[in-house]
């Protein structure tokens, strides 16, 4: 099948990529850009392990075709959350609270939680559970994942109290 070329922005950097039109973003990231932090789980949008941010919104990269990407889109992967060598607050909380076992679902969980905490800095426990509900963890580390996210919520809450 013929390949097309286009420029995409991933983790703040422009990349010229050549790929088939129907190639999922997941494989563009992993195979063409070497960003293997984004994982393949089901390939059909059901597990959330492949979640990345597109223009700040959590999207399943296995369902986004290369042809649907536009140069204006800002794509962020788990690697792109690290700024100046520092883990993001959500990444840090997952480490702090051992919110993983095998770690296979972790990138997707962190990207999904990052989306949630961007929209709502202080979600309730039930809002967290609802937002994370469609990300699957085969190791069932859900309680630690919720605890990790709640720790960021607590931090956000005390920051907003400081500012008031």
Q: What residues contact residue 31 under an 8 Å CB cut-off, 6+ apart?
A: none
**Residue 105 makes contact with ligand FES by CB under 6 A:** yes
How big is the chain, counted in residues? Answer: 164
Beta carbons of 91 and 145 less than 8 angstroms apart: no
Of residues 102, 130, 143, 160, which one binds ligand FES by CB under 6 A? Answer: 102
- Cβ neighbours, 10 Å, residue 69: 20
Q: Can you tell me the distance from the alpha carbon of 74 to that of 13, in angstroms, rounded to the nearest whole number?
A: 9
Q: How far is the CB of 5 from ligand FES (least distance, A)?
A: 25
Q: How far is the CB of 76 from ligand FES (least distance, A)?
A: 16
Beta carbons of 63 and 103 less than 8 angstroms apart: no
Q: How far is the CB of 2 from ligand FES (least distance, A)?
A: 25
Dihedral sign (CA 39, 49, 40, 33) = negative
Of residues 103, 120, 127, 146, which one binds ligand FES by CB under 6 A? Answer: 103
Mark 44-63 with x for binding to ligand FES (rule: CB under 6 A) and - for no binding.
Answer: -xxxxxx---------x-x-
Region of 13-21, 81-89, 100-108, 154-162 interacting with ligand FES (CB under 6 A): 100-108
Query: Tokens 């039930």 identify what position?
Result: 126
Of residues 3, 57, 125, 138, which one binds ligand FES by CB under 6 A? Answer: 138
Vertex 88, ends 44 and 57: CA angle to 5°?
Answer: 40
Q: How far is the CB of 21 from ligand FES (least distance, A)?
A: 19
Query: What is the contact surface with ligand FES in residues (CB under 6 A)?
Result: 40-43, 45-50, 60, 62, 100-105, 137-139, 141
């Amino acid at each position: 099948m013929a390949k097309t070329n286009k420029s995409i922005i991933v983790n703040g950097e422009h990349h010229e990529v050549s790929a088939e039109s129907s190639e999922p973003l997941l494989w563009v990231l992993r195979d063409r850009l070497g960003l293997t932090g984004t994982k393949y789980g089901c390939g059909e949008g059901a597990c959330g392990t492949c979640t990345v941010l597109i223009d700040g919104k959590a999207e399943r990269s296995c369902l986004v075709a290369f042809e649907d990407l536009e140069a204006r889109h800002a794509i962020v992967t788990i690697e792109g959350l690290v700024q100046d060598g520092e883990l993001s607050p959500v990444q840090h909380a997952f480490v702090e609270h051992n919110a993983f076992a095998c770690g296979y679902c972790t990138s997707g969980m962190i990207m999904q939680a990052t989306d949630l905490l961007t929209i709502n800095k202080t979600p309730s426990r039930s809002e967290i559970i609802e937002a994370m509900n469609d990300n699957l963890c085969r190791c069932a580390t859900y309680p630690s994942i919720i605890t990790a996210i709640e720790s960021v919520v607590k931090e956000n809450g005390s920051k907003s109290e400081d500012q008031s």
